[in-house]
């Protein structure tokens, strides 16, 4: 019976580490959303996603994007960068990714902040959804958020 519980504990730890790895990969990957909002209005919507009670937890930061927000936390937390690219036919493309992360060598699982970035990405995507339908428009005409690599920065 003791061997069964030992195996169960090991499997739980491995499962937790795999989940953390996937969360971290999703945070660093770029999520792109096409919206009909003009770039200035999209920037206001995005800044609003970090306002209110969240403004205590997020601060402006320097980074690679048009908008860069740093989550306050242990060793400078994690920085989320957002680019707003105007489209010729109107609207804009919003690219979101974690640009500056702190490497926690001693215990990466306890202080992982990837989930925070992933939740902000989803919240911003929902805020940028089409006002009439509540759906997101992507480059291929679909209706989902597309994770991918940043154009030009590979």
Q: For residue 83, give the 3-state DSSP assignment.
A: strand
* CATH number for domain 2-138, candidates 3.30.310, 1.10.1660, 3.30.530, 2.60.40: 3.30.530
What pLDDT, on a 0 to 100 scale, did the predictor assign at position 101? Answer: 64
Distance CA 28, CA 23 (A): 9
Residue 7 CA: distances (Å) to CA of 3, 11, 26? 6, 6, 29
For residue 75, what pLDDT is reported?
A: 66
C-alpha angle with apex 109: 17 to 111, nearest 5 degrees? 160
Give the start-to-end residue ranges of the domains of the chain: 2-138
CA atoms in the 13 A half-sphere facing the CB of 77? 17
CA distance 129 to 117: 18
**Cα–chain center distance at 16:** 20
pLDDT along the chain (154 residues), means of 10: 89 86 79 90 92 85 89 77 92 88 50 76 87 50 39 36
**Could you tell me the two tokens for 122?**
């989803």
């Amino acid at each position: 019976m003791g061997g069964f519980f030992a195996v169960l504990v090991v499997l739980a730890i491995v499962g937790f580490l795999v989940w953390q790895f996937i969360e971290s990969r999703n945070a660093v990957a770029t999520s792109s959303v096409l919206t009909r909002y003009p770039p200035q209005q999209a920037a206001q919507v995005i800044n609003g996603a970090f306002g209110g009670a969240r403004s205590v937890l997020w601060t402006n930061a320097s980074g690679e994007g048009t908008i860069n927000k740093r989550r306050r936390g242990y060793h400078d937390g994690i920085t989320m960068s957002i680019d707003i690219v105007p489209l010729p036919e109107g609207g804009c493309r919003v690219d979101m990714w974690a640009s500056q992360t702190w490497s926690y060598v001693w215990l990466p699982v306890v202080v992982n902040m990837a989930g925070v970035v992933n939740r902000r990405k989803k919240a911003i995507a929902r805020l940028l959804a089409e006002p009439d339908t509540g759906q997101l428009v992507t480059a291929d005409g679909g209706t989902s958020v597309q994770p991918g690599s940043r154009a030009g920065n590979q």
